[in-house]
């Protein structure tokens, strides 16, 4: 993949972005459809753990992990606006530290963390191999890496993908350019030309395996009956997976 001429994108600090963002998403334990899935990927107990979150946003996950007994939680995000909100929201948690770092250039201490989490952020990074190398080195032996991304089926099309309605009334998601990895541009949260990076499922997984980690949990988002009742639009996610959720363990 060509990594030249890549400028890190920070849409979250654009004027009026957060207004559109809050209108589109409910970011709380009760409102996020994927919260239950995240809990399934976490260790049964995080008590006493040193944890890193890459792309921490407003710090909801950091707050939860601190309340669950983590010894320390470090959160990084490229957005100054998000980090400001995360710092305010975790002011009462003395073991939570947040700061601004870019995934493209992030630096981490080696063998520092028992758990590294990144939820729906890594599909924005182009230099994926470097990021995974840094994350792998930052994990303690036996440490876990929880990685959630937009599903490659969802990110593959170079042209703006669409749902096609079949004669039966069922909808089908258009998939093309799957094996052509690289930048994609889409409309998101009312903003045009939002840049994401498409890579295949095998690239996501194999790149981590090459760093000496083992895939221990793999899941594709499928709405539960309860989520369907709350958000009927989830019916489309029975036809095309929206998210690819993975957990890796560093070999001891």
**Residue 2 confidence (pLDDT):** 47
Q: Is the pLDDT of residue 169 over 90?
A: no
**pLDDT tens digit sequence for 21-33:** 655 555 544 445 6
Higher pLDDT, 23 or 198: 198
185 beta partners:
195
**pLDDT tens digit sequence for 55-114:** 998 899 999 999 999 999 999 999 998 899 999 999 999 999 999 999 999 999 999 999
User: How large is the average pLDDT for residues 192-216?
Assistant: 94
Q: Is the pLDDT of residue 232 over 70?
A: no
**Residue 192 confidence (pLDDT):** 66
Nearby residues of 240 by Cβ (< 8 Å), 6 or more positions away: 151, 153, 154, 172, 173
Which pair of structure tokens corresponds to residue 74?
């470090």
**Residue 26 confidence (pLDDT):** 53
Domains of the chain with bracketed CATH:
11-151+200-250 (3.40.50.150)
What's the pTM value of the predicted model, to 2 decimals?
0.87
Which pair of structure tokens corresponds to residue 192?
């045009």
**Residue 236 confidence (pLDDT):** 65
């Amino acid at each position: 993949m060509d990594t030249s001429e890549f400028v890190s994108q920070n849409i979250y600090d654009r004027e009026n972005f957060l207004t559109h963002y809050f209108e589109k998403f409910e970011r709380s334990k009760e409102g996020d459809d994927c919260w239950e899935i995240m809990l399934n990927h976490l260790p049964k107990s995080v008590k006493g753990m040193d944890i890193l979150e890459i792309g921490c946003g407003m710090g909801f996950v950091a707050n939860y992990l601190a309340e669950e007994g983590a010894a320390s939680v470090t959160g990084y995000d490229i957005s100054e606006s998000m980090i400001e909100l995360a710092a305010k929201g975790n002011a009462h948690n003395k073991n939570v530290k947040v700061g601004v770092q870019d995934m493209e250039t992030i630096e981490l201490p080696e063998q520092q963390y028992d758990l590294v989490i990144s939820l729906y952020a890594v599909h924005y990074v182009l230099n994926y191999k470097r990021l995974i190398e840094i994350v792998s080195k930052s994990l303690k032996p036996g440490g876990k890496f929880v990685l959630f991304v937009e599903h490659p089926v969802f990110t593959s099309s170079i042209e703006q993908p669409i749902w096609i309605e079949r004669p039966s009334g069922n909808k089908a998601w258009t998939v093309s350019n799957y094996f052509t990895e690289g930048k994609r541009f889409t409309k998101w949260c009312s903003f045009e030309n939002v840049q994401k990076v498409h890579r295949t499922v095998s690239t996501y997984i194999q790149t981590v395996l090459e760093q000496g980690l083992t895939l221990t949990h793999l899941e594709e988002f499928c709405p539960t009956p309860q989520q369907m009742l709350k958000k009927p639009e989830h019916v489309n996610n029975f036809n095309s997976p929206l998210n690819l959720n993975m957990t890796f363990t560093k070999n001891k």
